[in-house]
Structure 1
Amino acid sequence: MNLHHLAPSGVFSAAAARMSGISGALLRSLVARGECHPLHRGWYSVQRPTSDKHRHRLRVTALLEEYAGLVMASHASAVAVLDLPDEGIDWGTVHLMWRDPERPFRAFSRVHIHELVEHPRLQHRGQTVDLGLAAVQVGLHSQIGMLVVADHCLRKGLTTSESLTAAARSLRGHRGVTRAKAAVSWCDSRHEWPGETLTAHVLRGLGYAFTPQLEIARREHPGRSFYADFHLDGTNVLVEFDGKVKYDPETNPDAARANFDEKLREDELRRLGFVVVRLTRADLARPALVRTRIEAAIRDSRPARPELPLA
Structure 2
Amino acid sequence: MDLRRLAPSGVFSAAAARASGISGALLRSLVAQGRCHPLHRGWYSVERPASDKHRHRLRVMALLEEYGDQVMASHCSVVALLDLPDEDIDWGTVHLMWRDPDRKFRAFSRVHIHELLDDPGLVHTSTTVDLALAVVQMGLRSQTGMLVAADHCLHLSLITPAGLAAAARALHGQRGVTRAKAAIPWCDGRHESPGETLTAQALRGLGYSFSPQFEVARLERPGRVFHADFRIDGTRVLIEFDGRVKYDPDSNPDAARANFQEKLREDELRRLGYFVVRLTRADLAKPALVRARVEASIRDSRAAAA
**Aligning the two structures, in what range does the TM-score lie when normalised by the shorter sequence?**
over 0.9
Whole-angstrom distance in 1 between the partners of 2:147 and 2:272: 32
Separation in structure 2 between the aligned mates of residue 52 and residue 92 of structure 1, nearest angstrom: 8
Question: Which residue of structure 2 aligns with residue 140 of structure 1?
Answer: 140
Cα offsets for 1:97-132 (capped at 9, x unmatched) = 011133467542100110111011111113111110
Equivalent residue letter for 1:265: R
Does 163-172 or 232-241 show the bigger shift?
163-172
Q: State the match for 1:172 in structure 2.
A: 172
Contact 2:69 2:126 in 1 (8 A): no
Cα 1:105–1:218 shift into 2, 3 Å: farther
CA contact (8 A) 1:74 1:128 kept: yes
Q: 1:104 to 1:190 in 2, by over 3 A?
A: farther
Counting helix residues as a fraction of each chain, which structure ranks higher? 2
In the alignment, the residues of structure 2 paired with residue 127 and residue 305 of structure 1 have an alpha-carbon distance, to the nearest angstrom, of 57
Shift of 1:304: 7.3
Q: Structure 2 CA distance, aligned partners of 1:14 and 1:38?
A: 10
Partner of 2:189: 189
- Which residue in the other structure is 1:75 paired with? 75
Give distance in 1, aligned partners of 2:155 and 2:228: 17
Q: Distance in 1 between matches of 2:174 and 2:259?
A: 47
Distance across 2 between alignment mates of 1:242 and 1:102: 51
Deviates more, 1:63-72 or 1:163-172: 163-172
Superposition map of 1:1-311 within 5 A: 1-103=1-103, 106-303=106-303
2:189 and 2:157 mapped to 1: Cα distance? 9
Q: Tell me which stretches of 4 or more aligned residues in structure 1 moved more than 6 Å.
A: none
- Code of the residue aligned with 1:210 in structure 2: it is F
What is residue 309 of structure 1 aligned with on the other side? Answer: none
AA matched with 1:5: R
Q: TM-score, normalised by structure 2?
A: 0.98
Give SS of 2:221's match.
coil
Deviations, residues 129-176 of structure 1 (Å, cap 9, x unaligned): 111000011111110000000001111111110111111121111111
Per-residue CA deviation, residues 210-264 of structure 1 (Å, 9 max, x unaligned), is: 0000111101100111000000001110000000000011111111111110011
Aligned partners of 2:40, 2:271: CA distance in 1, in Å? 60
Is the CA contact 1:105–1:112 (under 8 Å) kept in the aligned structure 2? no
Counterpart of 2:35 in 1: which secondary structure?
A: coil
Helix, strand or coil at the partner of 2:69: coil
1:105–1:183 CA distance, 2 compared to 1 (3 A): farther
What SS does structure 1 have at the residue aligned with 2:216? strand
Alpha-carbon distance, 1:288 to partner = 0.8
Q: 8 Å contact 1:106–1:114 — kept in the other structure?
A: no
Where in structure 1 are there 5+ consecutive unaligned residues? 307-311
For 2:305 and 2:70, the matched residues in 1 are separated by 60
- Give SS of 2:231's match: strand
Hey, what's the Cα distance between the residues in 1 that align with 2:222 and 2:125? Answer: 46
Maintained 8 Å contact 1:105/1:114: no
TM-score by length of 1: 0.96
CA contact (8 A) 2:60 2:77 kept: yes
- Structure 2 distance, partners of 1:31, 1:238, is 54
| CA shift for structure 1 position 30 | 0.7
Moved more, 274-283 or 121-130: 121-130
In the comparison of the two structures, how many residue pairs are matched?
306
Aligned partner of 1:234: which letter?
G
Task: Say if 1:270 and 1:114 are closer, same or farther in 2 by CA, change over 3 A.
Answer: same
Percent sequence identity over matched residues?
76
In structure 2, what is the Cα distance between the partners aligned to 1:182 and 1:124? 24
Q: Which amino acid aligns with 1:217?
A: A
Contact preservation (8 Å) 2:131, 2:159: yes
Deviation of 1:284 (Å): 0.2
Cα distance in 2 between the residues matched to 1:18 and 1:52:
28
* Counterparts of 1:232 and 1:266, CA distance in 2: 17
Gaps of 5+ in 2: none
CA-based RMSD of the aligned residues comes to 1.3
User: d(CA) in 2 for partners of 1:104 and 1:233?
Assistant: 54
